[in-house]
Amino acid sequence: MTVRKLFLIFFLFLSFKNIANNTIDSLFVSLNNSKTRNDSINIIENLFINYNNNEDYINCIKYANIYLNIKDIHYKNKALANKYIAYSYWAMNLKNMSLNYASKSLTQYKFVKDTSGIISVSNLLGILYNNLNKTDKATRFYKKALELSEKVNDKSYQAKIYNNLGSVLINSKEFERAITNYHNASIIMKETSGKNFFAPNLNIAFAYLNLHKVDSAIKYLKIAEKCINNNTENKLAYLLNISEVNIVNKEYDKALKNIFYVIKLAKQKKYNKILLQAYSYLSRIYALKNDYVKALNYQTRFTQISDSLSIINQEMLTTQIALLNKTEKQKILIDKLNIEKKLTKLQLNSYRNKIVLLISGVIIFFIVALIFFIQRNKINRAYKQFVKEDVENLKLKEINKNLEKQINVNNTQTTTEKYKNSTLSDKYKSEIAAKIIFAIEEDKLYKKIDFKINDLAEHIGINRTYISQVFTEEIKIGFKDFINNYRIEYAKKLLSNSNYSNYTIATIAEMAGFNHSSFNRIFKKYTGVTPSFYLKNSK
């Protein structure tokens, strides 16, 4: 090959790489130069998809929300945007926010009968509910996704879902059933690609280890070993499982050799979770060897890394909240506080032996106190910033509200008379949901104190049982929470409006449809702050 040809190949490679790196920049240029509305819509869609692919989840959420505010956008496009927002929140470990948008996306995909969309979002909902330890709901969504993927012969998703079902069963300690699902995933992967894959075989080995069937575990570990393919993370996961086999066989020196190698690579690659597991293994092995001094030493390192990761996670969450204030501020704050409580609970419940507690108790107390003080100050600042930006964001929500009204007007054109003597179809449920939202927003029904579901049924002329079914299966939120969301939004408008500055909080509560006795509690539950705090910081 000539030097000229080599230079040409090198030049083309650099050009291709440059094009890939500047995809988003080129989309912005195209957006500025677009001449039609449809072109602009398509470019914005490509923007949030590309941001998600580049793991820039903040901008993905930002442009997906802009996309959702576009007038007359099709339900299928709304479902796509909500799905990407859900994926972004999931990647940022904000599971409750992800759950909210995934549920919206699923409802919209069902409305347009998009099977591939229903499969992908149902699978995501299964993952989310499994992470939240709601295994029954996770299993239900996985099975629905599996049923549809088998119907359309989507082998790729079938394998994913079988693997995910195995994880649910592992969490429930149903190891035999987990193995069956992992086997199914492995078989489908091999059928479609002609080769074995690392994950399902490692999962099978892990399940057999929990069943104390070491020989079977070794068999699948050997298959997994052949599938590592120079992937460092896979290699480390494999070595941890091999170390478990060594421990069961009381081959402690072999296990130690593997674990020290895992620690070396994990430090180089900054795989903190794997490093944490490795130190836990070391403490366990030295305890089995009756070397309690080293066992205590490695347990202390495990604790230090665990505490450090908890602090880093909290700081990351604080940063994410500051960046996401322009989208779903109050919900994110509540989700953050829930995660912080969970992290604190995990930290308090982390394993401590008596010697570590006696030696380091006082030091830990001061460290925790300092962390709490710093985090408390950050949270207070985040609250104040949230209230100020929330007032500005109310205008954007009005635009979104007009969009929803437009959709609701269209959806409520169909009469309900023809469904009078039949069971609720998916289409009819969607129509009832649209009619409910239209009635609540247009007639301001949420302002009525003690407004109940029976009142709603009478107002829109639909059977109460049907309405309850629609809230459960279509809107995916209880009637009480649904009404309270509208009341809270209206109360925030009044609190931030200078025309109502002379009104008492009790009066504003009644204007928004609340009983004064419950207003403070409900307002704080939905926003994370009290009405008086919101009023003070919204001016």
DSSP string, 129-195: HHHTT-HHHHHHHHHHHHHHHHHTT-HHHHHHHHHHHHHHHHHTT-HHHHHHHHHHHHHHHHHHHSS
The confidence score (pLDDT) of residue 5 equals 40
The confidence score (pLDDT) of residue 386 equals 52
End-to-end CA gap in the chain: 72
DSSP string, 398-410: HHHHHHHHHHHHH
Rounded Cα distance, 47 and 173, in Å: 42
Q: Which of 402, 376, 232, 362 is nearest to 314 (CA)?
A: 376
Rounded Cα distance, 110 and 68, in Å: 18
202 neighbors 241 (Cβ within 8 angstroms): yes
pLDDT tens digits for range 203-262: 998 899 898 888 888 888 988 888 888 888 888 888 989 988 899 888 889 889 989 999
Cα R_g (the chain), whole angstroms: 27
The confidence score (pLDDT) of residue 392 equals 46
Cβ burial 158-178 (10 Å sphere, 16+ → b, else e): bbbbbbbbbbbbbebebbeeb
326 neighbors 393 (Cβ within 8 angstroms): yes
Q: Which CATH class is domain 394-416+423-537?
A: mainly alpha
Rounded Cα distance, 476 and 532, in Å: 31
The confidence score (pLDDT) of residue 33 equals 74
Positions of the chain with pLDDT lower than 50, given as ranges: 1-21, 327, 330-351, 353, 391-392, 395-396, 399-400, 402-422
Q: Which of 513, 508, 506, 486 is nearest to 497 (CA)?
A: 508
Distance of CA 10 to the CA centre of its chain: 41
Average pLDDT, the chain: 78
For residue 117, what are its two tokens?
């969309």
The confidence score (pLDDT) of residue 12 equals 40
82 neighbors 105 (Cβ within 8 angstroms): yes
Inter-CA distances, 167 with 173, 235, 348, 492, Å: 10, 20, 26, 42
486 neighbors 459 (Cβ within 8 angstroms): no
CB under 8 Å to 230, separation ≥6 — which residues? none
Q: Which of 264, 169, 248 is nearest to 207 (CA)?
A: 169
The confidence score (pLDDT) of residue 348 equals 46
The confidence score (pLDDT) of residue 312 equals 60
